[in-house]
Amino acid sequence: MNGDAIISVRNLTAGYGDRKVLDDLSVDFPRGRVTTIVGGSGCGKSTLLKCIVGLLTPWSGSVTVDGRVLTDLSEEALASALARVGLLFQAGAMLNSITVSENIVLPLSVHTTLPRPVIDEIVRLKLDLVGLGHAGAMLPSELSGGMRKRAALARAMVLDPDVLLCDEPSAGLDPQTAADLDALILRLKRTFHMTVIVVTHELASIDAIADDVVFLGRGGTLHFAGPLADAKACTHPAVADFFARRMPDMPAGTRSLLDVLEEPA
């Protein structure tokens, strides 16, 4: 494991049923930096996140989080390790039957024994951090798309994680709202000195937030891993196409032509 890496993936093979998605993947995620995971549809970006947070057990290989190999841990130790990793789901994954505040309470109820007044104060502070101090009593269905993403971000941050994982945070948002969310993620990263890993296909987001890029190819293999500037200069055809082919005459925040062409019909 790279000494500067907070997460290290080694020879990881994973999939669903008999369908292999990741194939012998090895990559490190540097501590204290923002890494974007990019690549065409179906290359295993979200599957990699699921392996990192223990939602999917690898077929083979390992994931090491802050020096601990996840598959070597007991159930209790695994829960403790993963409590240090926050996850912002693509669709937010907020429970619509309870208020925004109660959604954010859930991780604190599961992972801590704090008294309720302390929990309520933590929730209030996290909502204030994402600009939703007024929305705690609302239901998720009463929020706009951007507000739901920010509420889900507050929940991902409620345990003060060392690592924040974001799965397509800009999905479904207009360019300005997406840019505002990018700025918020960066501000939280700098404030709390976190490592951030973001799955995205948005070139504008990559330009705005990425220190490093991990580029996955079809079949779940690694095409590139390194600093953003090096990714933009990479001569691998798929990587070069991704950064070169922005749709003509479209504003920042739109998808690359490669993503459009690779989407299923």
| pLDDT for the residue numbered 245 | 67
Count structural domains, the chain: 2
Instruction: Please tell me the number of Cα atoms within 13 Å of 44 on its side-chain side.
Output: 27
| pLDDT for the residue numbered 91 | 64
Does 80 share its domain with 190? Answer: yes
**Calpha distance 199→206 (Å, rounded):** 10
CATH code for the domain of 233: 3.40.50.300
Does 155 share its domain with 182? Answer: no
Residues in Cβ contact with 62 at an 8 Å cutoff, skipping those fewer than 6 apart:
9, 10, 11, 12, 69, 70, 71
Domain boundary among 160, 187, 203: 160
Does 133 share its domain with 256? Answer: no
Domain boundary among 160, 177, 205: 160
Domain boundary among 106, 131, 160: 160
Does 176 share its domain with 56? Answer: yes
Listed as ranges, residues in the chain with pLDDT below 50 are 247-265
Spell out the alpha helix ranges (H) of the chain: 45-52, 75-82, 100-111, 116-129, 145-157, 175-192, 203-209, 228-233, 237-244, 257-262
Does 174 share its domain with 242? Answer: yes
Contact 100, 177 (CB under 8 A): no
Does 70 share its domain with 150? Answer: no
Distances (CA, A) of 188 to 95, 195, 247: 24, 10, 31
| pLDDT for the residue numbered 254 | 43
Does 148 share its domain with 194? Answer: no
Does 153 share its domain with 170? Answer: no
Tell me the pTM.
0.85
Does 147 share its domain with 112? Answer: yes
Does 63 share its domain with 184? Answer: yes
Does 184 share its domain with 70? Answer: yes
| pLDDT for the residue numbered 21 | 94
Does 174 share its domain with 130? Answer: no
- Domain span at residue 98 reads 93-160
Nearest in space to 99 (alpha carbons), one of 138, 132, 131:
138
